[in-house]
Amino acid sequence: MTIYDIKVKTIDLKEIDLSQFKEKVILIVNTASTCGFTPQYESLEKIFKKYKDKGFEILAFPCNQFNQQEKGNEEEIKNFCRLKYDISFPLFAKIEVKGKNQHPLFKYLTENKPGLFGSKEVKWNFTKFLLDRKGRIIKRYAPATDPLSIQKDIEKLI
């Protein structure tokens, strides 16, 4: 199995295959609208605009598992992201990133790229996974890592 075998739902609840992102450098992020790290949307949008024409994608997956910091439905999330941060990268339907109902995408990511001390669980909102053009997980970043600080890693892959 590869990341390209996984199906996800867009923020408009349309099911797609991640295979449509083949040959792209991808940053996958679990997000939330009322988290202390929510302002990272601004940094994410900056790096998306800077690198999107070079084959870079950001895939944002809202999650309500951490202190219910993503209570809204998909329409509310989409409106918040577009109005407050003018997000132009793909947003997806709310998912669970840990636990018994963990989405297959995050199961794949966490099993193949454990966090600090080998932990396979996502610990908080805005955990980030950087993948190369072949879908290999290159690096996992902590929630506090500002997306602007990982530009050198992105540039190596582009």
Q: Which residues are catalytic?
A: 35
- What does the DSSP 8-state code read for residue 13? -
Tokens for 121, please give them.
């669980």
Which residue type sits at 148?
A: L
Q: Where are the beta strands (DSSP E) in 15-86?
A: 15-17, 25-31, 56-62
Helix, coil or strand: residue 93: coil
Give the burial class of 86: count Cβ atoms within 10 A of its Cβ; 0-12 exposed, 13-18 middle, 19 or more buried. Answer: exposed
Report d(CA 73, CA 132) in Å as an integer.
Answer: 31
Which residue type sits at 119?
A: S
CA distances from 101 to 84, 98, 104, 117 (A): 30, 7, 9, 23
